[in-house]
Amino acid sequence: MALMHFSVPRHIISGPAALNHLSTLKGRKAVLVTGGSSMKRFGFLDRAEQLLQQAGMQTLIVDGVEPNPSVATVWRGAKAMQEFEPEWIVAIGGGSALDAAKVMWCFYEHPELKFEDILTPGSMPPLRNKARFVAIPSTSGTASEITAFSVITDTDNHIKYPIVAADMVPDIAILDPALPETMPPHITANTGMDVLAHAIEAVASTAATSFTDPYAIEAIRLVLANLELAYREPHNAAARLNMHNASALAGMAFTNASLGLVHSLAHKIGGEFGVTHGLANAILLPYIIRFNRQFSDKYALVEKQLEIPDLAEAVEMLNRQLDIPHTFRLCQEVPFDESHFSQVLARMSQNAHADPCTWTNPGQPTVADVQALYEAAFYGRQPAEATV
């Protein structure tokens, strides 16, 4: 029997006005890391800065984190932190801001490291030598506020790198449901399907345990019951709170059980074409559920507990309700040129097979299996049986 580890943030502050917890932090300096303009536009960034200043801290804002945070942005933020020397790093916004801030934190504390030094799980040196970390999500999706994961894009080579380190689990996660109410419908859909992918992959993971399954299955239930409602009724407070809770629960599951081929393939096709991560997950998920059934009975367990006739069909139905296309070829978010897809398919398949998330996928999928799954999700084919 393998040794099992289970970790979550030390403090999870959830509920209305949870953001106010920032005023209770102790320290001299804090850096706020955020993405585009939404947190500024809706007043949350200013409010967070005011609360930190009420706590007696000087503040610095590092903004402009891209939807797919780049290595260059990570270095820019780390340099600003090295000059400012904060005791708290507060990431507020979508998963991209939280992911970037985690890796900025690493290079703030260990400026001698190179990016490639932290790509292998377990290779990141200990954190909390200079600062502690607070994560405040504005989306109900990535669960970066809960997890030991970060995804950073090498824009030169068009590759997304998942970085895994137990020390990156935030010290404090603040779940204030007022923030996700500002999400537009398509972001609600894409981030919500990211939650569902996290939960379903955590259940099927070869590292799943009796500690992680209950969180994952409850997250699946909450998403299936609430995501379409949050999409259709953006200010439905109950649906928003349920989706924020689902995101955190799925995060608790997958940060301890890891993920699978859905994320492996999404990371690489996202790096190559720029498609939003949650949208890529949504398109891939039904194909990979059907492929993985030959190796795992965990989907049947979910179906039995939640009284769902077919999990892949339930995902496809939810995609239709959220106006998510059935294939990458039909995706309108970014151009998916068939000739470009054919040109990069072999390399993209090799890279996806080497992704750390593949390690905990059921069975032992080959590069040929990965390529067949990419083709299935691009053209709308049924996935083939696994190769030997």
CATH for 43: 3.40.50.1970
pLDDT at 155: 84
Sign of CA dihedral 238, 249, 71, 166: positive
Whether residues 108 and 132 fall in one domain: yes
CB 4 within 8 A of CB 33: no
- Among residues 137, 44, 129, 134, which one has the least CA distance to residue 88? 134
Whether residues 171 and 210 fall in one domain: no
Q: Which of 120, 152, 180 is the last residue of a domain?
A: 180
pLDDT at 46: 96
- Cα angle 65, 69, 73; round to 5: 65
Q: State the DSSP H helix or E strand holding residue 11, giving kind and residue range, or none if neither.
A: strand 11-14
In a domain, 4, yes or no: no
CB 206 within 8 A of CB 256: no
DSSP character at residue 386: P
Whether residues 165 and 220 fall in one domain: no
Sign of CA dihedral 115, 116, 120, 123: negative
Whether residues 153 and 216 fall in one domain: no
Sign of CA dihedral 88, 90, 95, 96: negative
CB 136 within 8 A of CB 19: yes
Structural domains in the chain (count): 2
CATH number at residue 203: 1.20.1090.10
pLDDT at 2: 62
CB 210 within 8 A of CB 255: no
Q: Longest Cα pair distance anywhere in the chain, in angstroms?
A: 62
Whether residues 63 and 29 fall in one domain: yes
pLDDT at 383: 72
In a domain, 27, yes or no: yes
In a domain, 30, yes or no: yes
Written as tens digits, the pLDDT of the chain (388 aa) is 466 677 777 899 988 899 999 999 999 999 999 997 789 999 999 999 999 999 999 999 999 999 889 999 999 999 999 999 999 999 999 989 999 999 999 999 999 999 999 998 889 999 999 999 999 999 898 889 988 889 898 888 878 888 989 899 999 999 998 899 988 999 999 999 999 999 999 999 999 999 999 999 999 999 999 999 999 998 888 899 899 989 999 999 998 999 999 999 999 999 889 898 999 999 999 999 999 999 999 999 999 999 999 999 999 999 999 999 999 999 988 889 899 999 999 999 999 999 989 999 999 999 999 999 999 999 998 876 656 4
Domain ranges, residue 110: 11-180
Whether residues 114 and 221 fall in one domain: no
Whether residues 140 and 267 fall in one domain: no
